[in-house]
Amino acid sequence: DQQVKQNSPSLSVQEGRISILNCDYTNSMFDYFLWYKKYPAEGPTFLISISSIKDKNEDGRFTVFLNKSAKHLSLHIVPSQPGDSAVYFCAASAGQGGSEKLVFGKGTKLTVNP
Partner 1 sequence: GAGVSQSPSNKVTEKGKDVELRCDPISGHTALYWYRQSLGQGLEFLIYFQGNSAPDKSGLPSDRFSAERTGGSVSTLTIQRTQQEDSAVYLCASGLAGNTDTQYFGPGTRLTVL
* Residues near partner 1 (CB under 8 A): 4, 6, 32, 34, 36, 41-46, 49, 89, 91, 93, 95, 97-107
Max intra-chain CA distance, the chain: 40
CB of 15 to partner 1, least distance (A): 27
CA–CA dist 109, 99 (Å, integer) = 27
Nearest to partner 1 of 43, 60 (CB atom): 43
CB of 52 to partner 1, least distance (A): 13
Closest to 84 (Cα-Cα) out of 62, 106, 58:
62
Nearest to partner 1 of 16, 95 (CB atom): 95
CB of 89 to partner 1, least distance (A): 6
Q: How many CA atoms lie within 13 Å of 63's alpha carbon, on the beta-carbon side?
A: 12
